[in-house]
Structure formats: structure tokens, C-alpha cells
């Protein structure tokens, strides 16, 4: 049982390049989330998708776009990467964003922008 799978695991970009981070879950969850994790800042929500066909901004959405491709997949796109977007990105899923159920996380994508 894979749970939440993120690709790629590592990536180095140059400033101004674009990139899409992929996430897929096999738990039949309705809701999916993208976070970034920075030292001393904890996990911060970038975007989430409460259900297939919907997306909403989180705490730090600037510079990012998302697509909920289907129930299983939720991608995060950096259109013009900036050094401030160097971070570890985590995808998570839950049964429903409208319930109080916990979220389950993938192992992250480590992104460096030079």
C-alpha cells in the first residue's frame, strides 16, 4: 500500500525555470493538500483541494498554481521559480477537508533553486 507518492524526490532548478511536482494517493481520499516545510517555520499550507474539481488557496499561495487532475492526483506548479521557493514540499491527503480526520503525507520533494 503506497499511500501518498510524490515525484520527483529531488530537483535543482535555475531561477526563472518552471516545474511541476506530482502527487498521487491510493487511499480513495477526497481531499488533497500541498505544504512547504522550511527550518523554523514548520509546515505551511500552499493550496488544497477539498474535492475533485475544486482548489483553494492556503497560507502561502503566491508563486504557485495547482491542478486536481482527478481524485487520485494533485499537482503543484512553479511557473517562474525563485530562490525563496527553495524548500521541501509535501503532499498530503485526507478523507475529507470537511471532517476532522487527520492528513497522511508523502515523503516530500526537495527543491533547490539557484
Partner 1 sequence: QKEVEQDPGPLSVPEGAIVSLNCTYSNSAFQYFMWYRQYSRKGPELLMYTYSSGNKEDGRFTAQVDKSSKYISLFIRDSQPSDSATYLCAMIPVNTGTASKLTFGTGTRLQVTL
Contacting residues toward partner 1, per CB under 8 A: 4, 31, 40-43, 45, 48, 50, 56, 58, 90, 97-100, 102-108, 110
Query: Closest Cα partner for 103 from 62, 65, 74?
Result: 74
Q: Output 17 or 73, the one with its CB closest to partner 1.
A: 73
Give yes or no for a contact between 74 and 64, defined as CB atoms under 8 angstroms apart: no
Least distance (Å) from partner 1 to the CB of residue 51?
10
For partner 1, give the closer residue by CB, 68 or 108.
108
Minimum Å distance from CB 55 to partner 1? Answer: 11
| Cα(79)–Cα(39) distance, integer angstroms | 24
* β-strand partners of 18: none
> Which residues, listed in sequence order, are joined to residue 38 by a DSSP beta bridge?
42
**Closest approach of partner 1 to the CB of residue 66, in Å:** 14
Amino acid at each position: 500500500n503506497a499511500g501518498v507518492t510524490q515525484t520527483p524526490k529531488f530537483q535543482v532548478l535555475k531561477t526563472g525555470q518552471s516545474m511541476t511536482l506530482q502527487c498521487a494517493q491510493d487511499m480513495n481520499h477526497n481531499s488533497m493538500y500541498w505544504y512547504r516545510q522550511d527550518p523554523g517555520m514548520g509546515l505551511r499550507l500552499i493550496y488544497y483541494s477539498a474535492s475533485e474539481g475544486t482548489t483553494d488557496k492556503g497560507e502561502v499561495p503566491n508563486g504557485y498554481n495547482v491542478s486536481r487532475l482527478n481524485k487520485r492526483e494533485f499537482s503543484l506548479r512553479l511557473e517562474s521559480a525563485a530562490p525563496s521557493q527553495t524548500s521541501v514540499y509535501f503532499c498530503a491527503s485526507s478523507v475529507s477537508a470537511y471532517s476532522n480526520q487527520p492528513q497522511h503525507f508523502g515523503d516530500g520533494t526537495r527543491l533547490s533553486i539557484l
